[in-house]
Structure formats: structure tokens, C-alpha cells
Amino acid sequence: MDYIHLRDLEFYGYHGVLPTETELGQRFRVTMKIAVDLQHAGETDSLDNTVSYADVFMIVQKILEGKPFKLIEAVAEKIATDVRAAYPNEIKGLQVEVIKPDPPIPGHYREVAVEITRGEMQ
């Protein structure tokens, strides 16, 4: 299986359950691993034979900077659904991790995150 990786895409959004999250917003990071056969793209050197990571970035940006969700679980699911819908024949599976580096919770931690897997991944 071949993969396209998009690591630590950064956005500012208004997702969350707490009023401060939806009023002030916060940073979000997204990391993705997309399973796709890259052999034909490698042989032809043609963008038409692969998944455009620039297009994937724009899909994710629209979601993260768009309509607020309460849960990052819902954000991850929307990303997975929309990216797979954009490339229904190319994408075999994907992993999406949505990270909140600075959630408004007390304590010491590096970040909180959810990760989902949809489709075939090895």
C-alpha cells in the first residue's frame, strides 16, 4: 500500500463545547495518512493519476475554518467523509488526526487529539 502524508496542517477555528472555544477560537492541527496506489502516478508523472494534496489541504481548511462543530470527533469525521468523496476511486482508506494544542482545560499536557481510520489501511 502507498500513502500520501499531510502532517501538522494548522488552522484557526471555533470548534468546541465551551463558550470560550466558540467565541475566541483556538488553533487546530490536522495530520492525515491517505492510502492510495501511487504507482501509475509515479510512472506517468501526472497529477491526474493521484490525489492532489493541495486539494486535500483546501478541503480540510474549509472545514476547520468553517461552521463550528462541538466535538473534534465530528470534525475528523467530516474531513474523512469530504476527502473520500472528492476521490472515491483513488482513496482506499485514510487516517485523520485532529489535534487541539491548547484546549481550555487545566493541567499539564502537550495536546489532546482524536484519530479515526476509515477504509483499508495497513
> Domains (ranges, CATH) in the chain?
3-119 (3.30.1130.10)
For residue 28, the model assigns a pLDDT of 98
Nearest to 27 by CA among 107, 108, 94, 112: 112
In 10 A of CB 120, how many CB atoms? Answer: 11
Three-state secondary-structure class, residue 42:
helix
Residues of the chain with pLDDT > 70, as a percent, come to: 100
Residues in the chain: 122
For residue 75, the model assigns a pLDDT of 98
Cα distance between residue 113 and residue 39, in whole Å: 32
pTM for this one?
0.95
Cα distance between residue 80 and residue 4, in whole Å: 14
Is 100 noted as a catalytic residue in this protein?
yes
Cα distance between residue 41 and residue 3, in whole Å: 12
Question: Is pLDDT above 90 for 73?
Answer: yes
Considering the candidates 62, 70, 78, 100, report the single residue annotated as catalytic: 100
For residue 64, the model assigns a pLDDT of 98
For residue 122, the model assigns a pLDDT of 82
Question: Is pLDDT above 90 for 46?
Answer: yes
